[in-house]
Amino acid sequence: MTDEKDIKFAEVLESLKDVPGPVMMAMQKAQDIYGYLPLEVQLKIADFFGVPLATVYGIATFYSQFRLEQPGQIKIAVCLGTACYVKGSGGVIDKFGRMLGVEPGHTTADGRFTLEATRCIGCCGLAPVLTVNGEVYGKVTEDSVDEILAKYNNI
């Protein structure tokens, strides 16, 4: 964690001082800055707004977007929304799991890949859909898994 991030985050906290109901906004901004919510950052938020740490932790674990662990360099998110599921995204995420040796929601031991199952990302016309670091791949099949992994393994 660098000082630069801490300075930026201190500014964010200051800017939310007079906003009603600021805790979740602060956590979202914190995750933008740090990539996840380490315990020290949660403590900072709790201290700043005068709420118990349990409240911050409770919010962090309630919402699926908050991460408590550092994510991998390459984030593969397979949509398991209904439209994608009925078109076979379940098989796609299973194959990623087999190839990478991780369960959805976890990061490979070398810290390279994080595999995630996401909720509907709303491009159902392209189902089944997945994103790799935000880049969208549509109409994927189990065969595309090999191609996608090959592409990112070479980076």
Partner 1 sequence: MKTLQQLQEIRDRLKATIDERQEGAAVTPGLPRMYILVCGGTGCTSGNSKIIYDNFVSRLKEKGLENEVKIIMTGCFGLCSKGPIAVVYPDGSFYTHVQPDDVTEIVEKHIVGGQPVERLLHAEKDIHGQLKSINDTDFYRSQRRVVLRNCGVIDPENIDEYLATDGYKAYEKAVTQMTPQQVIDEIKKSGLRGRGGAGFSTGMKWQFTHDAPGTEKYVACNADEGDPGAFMDRSLLEGDPHAVIEAMMIAGYAVGAEHGVIYVRAEYPIAVHRLEVAIAQAREYGILGDNVMGQGKKFDLELRLGAGAFVCGEETALLNSAEGKRGEPRQRPPFPAIKGLFGKPTLINNVETYGNITQIILNGADWFASVGTEKSKGTKVFALGGKLENVGLVEIPMGTPLRTIVEDIGGGCPNGKKFKAAQTGGPSGGCIPASLIDTPIDYDNLMAIGSMMGSGGLIVMDEDNCMVDIAKFFLEFTVDESCGKCTPCRIGNKRLLEMLDKVTKGEATLEDLDKMEELCYYIKDNSLCGLGQTAPNPVLSTLRYFRDEYEAHCDGKCPAGVCKALVSFKVDKEKCIGCTLCARNCPVGAISATEEKASNGRPIHVIDPKKCIKCGVCISKCPKGAIYK
Chain residues binding partner 1 by CB under 8 A are 20-25, 27-28, 55, 58-59, 62-66, 80-83, 85-87, 91, 94-95, 98, 118-127, 129, 136, 138, 141-143
Q: How far apart are CB 110 and partner 1 at their closest, in Å? A: 21
Q: Which is nearer to partner 1, 80 or 149 (CB)?
A: 80
Please state the φ and ψ torsions of residue 121, each to the nearest 5 degrees. Answer: -100, 5
**Residue that the structure tokens 């360099």 belong to:** 73
Q: How far apart are CB 142 and partner 1 at their closest, in Å? A: 7
d(CA 23, CA 26): 5
Q: Which is nearer to partner 1, 101 or 111 (CB)?
A: 101
Q: How far apart are CB 108 and partner 1 at their closest, in Å? A: 17
Please state the φ and ψ torsions of residue 140, each to the nearest 5 degrees. Answer: -80, 155
d(CA 129, CA 141): 9
Beta-carbon-side half-sphere exposure of residue 84 (alpha carbons within 13 Å) = 30
Q: Which is nearer to partner 1, 72 or 81 (CB)?
A: 81
